[in-house]
Amino acid sequence: MTAPPDVSGSTQSLPLRPLTHDRVSGAAVLGLAPRAVRHFSLLGVIWDDPAAHLHGSVQVRTRAAATGGWSDWQDVETHYTDHGADPGSAEAASGRVRGATAPLWVGESDGVEVRVRPEPGAAGESGEPGEGPELPSGLRLELIDPGDTDADTDADTEGSAAAPPGDAVDGRTGPTTAEATAASAANTSLAPLGATEIPELDGERTRQELLTLRQGELAEQQQAKQYIGPRPAIVTRRGWGADESLRDKSFPYTGKVKAAFVHHTASGNNYACSQAPSLIRGFYRYHVKSLGWRDIGYNFLVDKCGRIYEGRAGGVAKPVKGAHTMGFNSNTTGIAVIGSYGSKKPSSKAVKAVSRITAWKLGLHGMNPGSKTYLTSAGGNLYGKGKKVRLNVISGHRDGFNTSCPGGKLYSKLKSVRSTAARYQGR
């Protein structure tokens, strides 16, 4: 379906070429010489085989559209194939999926230079000593323009409170299409059709709503004490300006949500909270158009000011199957904090927001955030297919897959997230 004229955003896809040779291994260094391009704000590198790993480094520098000045060289996180659909799933087997680096937010730019250097020191296919592993084939630089919508405001800055409901968006945000109506309708039990934000509820109203959502269960189960955190405010897909024509039309669901996996987007921390909707539109376009996923991979996203956003379409109260923790997307939900938290501490507001969304979402399924549960692996680099694994109900991405995500500084906060979420549930 062709996007309506009021939907903006685009992707430039540029093949990477040999630039020079590594002085140690002699392997070709690929990239692009400095060049002018159409405006973009987010970038990443993709390749043909989603199972291949980029053993090497990716560095970029960009030219700011506003000033014409070039940035310093920045590293792009190369280990991103640990996200994505489970092996053997319909989404993974679509034939559209590609390997990729993490996306990097660089702000509005009109020039770019990139170099991809293979990892030195290991033997390649020829077996010659000192030769590094070959780079994956089909390397391309993706330059993402997330477009402009009424979701973008200058109301929020780092450290400020999130904007009150309605301040960041209005009724014009996003096109009214059949896909947009369907995405909004998935949340009509929580907010009116077309709402840009699902409002927060206090504890008692959240418990009353939970009984309504569980109408088909036995009376004694309905009357039992409900441990659930107050529902936080959640910016809907319409609220952040999703172009619903990009994604697959159907919504994939899983069973009971038994656990939440916490991630970081590894996209850098150089953003204002007013730009978060733009970043999310960029992630969305990168995941769908560049990586070949059916929709954005995460179920929820959290910015550094503590605002929570709906991710993959299908309804925030429903068990939507995401593409966030390869091998453990069934019976889980994925929550990504926007930024890179390997060496930088996440904000206290972001950590609190993770506690709030997990207390509510896990409470919908009767799960205790402070406990452990069993999940069955669909395959990965830590656990083979069919392996039953005992994990924390709130886990980090690295607990299910051998990865640095969600970054050491965010991972170290998960103990506090578990106890706080349990407290929100009244445990």
Q: Residue 193 and residue 290: Cα distance in Å, rounded?
A: 30
Determine contact, residues 73/388, Cβ cutoff 8 Å.
no
Q: Residue 124 and residue 178: Cα distance in Å, rounded?
A: 51
Q: Residue 420 and residue 365: Cα distance in Å, rounded?
A: 18
Determine contact, residues 355/422, Cβ cutoff 8 Å.
no
Long-range contacts from 382-390, C-beta under 8 angstroms, 24+ separation: 382/327, 383/327, 385/87, 385/88, 385/327
pLDDT by residue (tens digit) across 161-210?
333 333 333 334 445 789 999 999 999 999 999 999 999 999 999 998 88
Q: What is the DSSP letter of 214?
A: T
pLDDT by residue (tens digit) across 381-420?
889 999 999 999 999 999 999 999 999 999 999 999 999 9
pLDDT of residue 412: 98
Q: Where does the pLDDT of residue 380 fall: very low under 50, low under 70, confident under 90, or very high at 90 and above?
A: confident
Crossing angle, helix 348-363 and helix 414-424, to 10 degrees? 50
Mean pLDDT of 18-37: 86
Beta bridge partners of 17: 31
57: exposed, middle or buried (Cβ count in 10 Å: 0-12, 13-18, 19+): middle
Q: Measured at the alpha carbon of residue 365, what is the angle toward residues 364 and 368, in degrees to the nearest 5?
A: 100
Token pair in block for residue 106: 């660089």
Handedness of CA 64, 68, 69, 73 (dihedral sign): positive
pLDDT of residue 215: 66
Mean pLDDT of 28-51: 96
- Residues shown for the chain: 427
Q: Measured at the alpha carbon of residue 307, what is the angle toward residues 305 and 310, in degrees to the nearest 5?
A: 145
Mean pLDDT of 225-254: 95
Give the number of C-alpha atoms closer than 13 A to the C-alpha of residue 234, restricted to the C-beta side: 27
Q: Residue 169 and residue 198: Cα distance in Å, rounded?
A: 12
Q: Where does the pLDDT of residue 134 fall: very low under 50, low under 70, confident under 90, or very high at 90 and above?
A: confident
Model pTM?
Answer: 0.90
Q: Where does the pLDDT of residue 214 fall: very low under 50, low under 70, confident under 90, or very high at 90 and above?
A: confident
pLDDT of residue 218: 45
pLDDT by residue (tens digit) across 267-304?
999 999 999 999 999 999 999 999 999 999 999 999 99
Q: Look up residue 59 and give its amino acid.
A: Q
Q: Look up residue 252 and give its amino acid.
A: P
Q: What Å distances lie between residue 42 and 11, 150, 174, 332, CA to CA?
A: 10, 19, 20, 28
Mean pLDDT of 146-156: 68
Q: What is the DSSP letter of 320?
A: B
Mean pLDDT of 96-110: 97
The average confidence (pLDDT) of the chain is 89
